[in-house]
Structure 1
């Protein structure tokens, strides 16, 4: 073999050996980039962006706008809810205060009427022992009854012969009577009720059985 042929053969061998060596790892050249950076590179490069890349960027921007709008709505609703809670708390406070004021005024009015009744009783007792105080006492009683009626207090006054109502009548005594057995004979003391609630049952006598 000539020297020239040997040289050509050696060069070919070196070329084949270089071709068999592994190429550098291309993955090392790929940077870890965000979606926005990747899209910027695709759309802002000198090359004409592909249609899928442009469409993807438009969709992402639309979604970002929608998310921002929803966040604004959430903030507005949260603020409205906070104001509503504060308004309701103030409403409850005002209502409670108004109820307390109404109760105080109602009590004040009742006390004023009762003091008038007491003054009438005092005047009746201040009369001479020989004076007939019955008319004054009766007038005072009428004033007192009107005060109770103004407060929606009703009297429980069953009539003779009425059936006994355990919720509204209290039997004090059973007596012999011409009335049917177990019915009311007489009222020992009137009762009182207010707003369908018995404040004090009427005390009655009842006809004995047989």
Structure 2
């Protein structure tokens, strides 16, 4: 083979090698691009999974927060209702305490009123000597009644009224053509009530 032909072959080999190297470089570059795209796609999928996980966690936390808030709201509502009930009960107790604070005192005062009334009934109003004493007793009695009336004490004197077991205490039943059955004919002892509460029922006799 001549030198010229050898030279041509060498040049062809070099050119072929260069072309092969260029092709190899192109293939490598393309593989890197493909590999890079694969990496990008994987990263995007990974990021998407992470985002979905974070969203799920946030939604779960929000749900728990809403449940706790609802429980707290229910607790607050119940607490308010309980406080309101307690306030009403306290006001009622205070009102009762004010109304019936003199209940014991009124009970002890009733015999005094009874004695004054007995004295007035027994006194001889036609006796000039007795009259001044009777007037004094009447004035004392009136003062007592005025004071206790201002404090809510009211007498129960049910002559001619229908018998009421809540207000009257029947000691006996009698025949009475002038009264209907179950009517109070005689009051043996007046009763009293304090602001609607019976302090002492009236002792009565009732028609059959």
Q: For the superposition of Structure 1 and Structure 2, which TM-score range results when normalised by the shorter chain?
A: 0.3 to 0.5
Q: Which is higher, the Rg of structure 1 or of structure 2?
A: 2
**Greater share of helix residues, 1 or 2?**
2
Q: TM-score, normalised by structure 1?
A: 0.45
Higher RCO by CA contacts (8 Å cutoff, separation 6 or greater): 2
